[in-house]
Amino acid sequence: MLTTRYQKVDTLSVVDVARMHALFEENYAYSPLSTFIDDLEKKEGAFIVRQKSTQAIVGFSTLGIYTFELGGKKAKGLFSGDTIIDRNYWGTRSLQNAFALKLFWEALKSPLTPQYWLLISKGYKTYLLLAKNFPDYFPKRGGSSPELQELVTEYCEAMFPGKLDRDSMLLDFGEGANCLKEHVAAITPEMRTAEPDIAFFEQRNPSWQRGTELPCIALADLKTFLTFVWPFMWKTMFGKKAAAKSGAAQAGVQARRA
């Protein structure tokens, strides 16, 4: 069982940061500690995923919260940085649920301010979180609104000046950029066929293996959360429990009949 808690960066212990960096090293080919700490210090906080029984850190996702002038209007952007989960826990949803609740809380603080999830994706797994959980995002298979692409350009120029190639809409940090190790997010022909969004990600970021990033954005305001994200979370959090209870009840009835 896992538990995920959001912590401000200044509350993380030296031991916590060391463990986070160790996880980072397991997944990235270029991962000096100095660069990792420098990036962490620029963030507001991090979601820390722990084993309930031992409290050992098995995953994390850093988060920056920014106020932007996007499209000439004030907007809030929640920027997801490094996100790592120990491979033994791939597929668990503790981190995703905690992140969604954070989006909700931030939207409640300023319900009239447009809020967006900002992320840059060098692997298909992060992109799928976007594609599977939000209705209005860029880039999107089948097409996105031109406004969202303009917002991506604006936030990239604000956060990573000079790094965005506007023709490919990719961020290229050059030699020495972090890139995923082969075992983390390899894409097979079977995966491309089975999941069109994986094929689309690779089409949009064909050089992902050397560390180029696909900048993305999703509308994540209060209306979006209540209409789309919360029903999905409710199903994932309580659907399995309800099914388990139903199964247990049926088993009990069969046992009594026997």
Q: Give the whole-angstrom CA distance, residue 158 versus residue 93.
A: 31
Q: Which residues contact 72 (CB under 8 A, 6 or more apart)?
A: none
Helix (H/G/I), strand (E/B), else coil: 212? coil
CATH of the domain at 30: 3.40.630.30
Domain that holds residue 41: 2-257
Q: Give the whole-angstrom CA distance, residue 188 versus residue 13.
A: 39
- 142-153 per-position pLDDT tens digit: 988 888 999 999
What DSSP letter does each residue of 157-191 carry, written as one string?
HHHSTT-EETTTTEE---TT---B-TTTS---HHH
Q: Which residue has the higher pLDDT, 217 or 182?
A: 217
- 50-84 per-position pLDDT tens digit: 999 999 999 999 999 998 877 778 899 999 998 89
**Closest C-alpha to 132, from 43, 235, 44:** 235
Specify which residues 4 forms β-bridges with: 49
* Structural domain count, the chain: 1
Q: Is the pTM of this model over 0.85?
A: no
- 11-63 per-position pLDDT tens digit: 999 999 999 999 998 888 877 898 899 999 999 999 999 999 999 999 999 99
Q: Give the whole-angstrom CA distance, residue 240 versus residue 246.
A: 10
Tokens 């820390």 map to which residue? 48
Backbone angles phi, psi at 30, to 5 degrees: -130, 110
Mean of pLDDT values over 129-139: 91
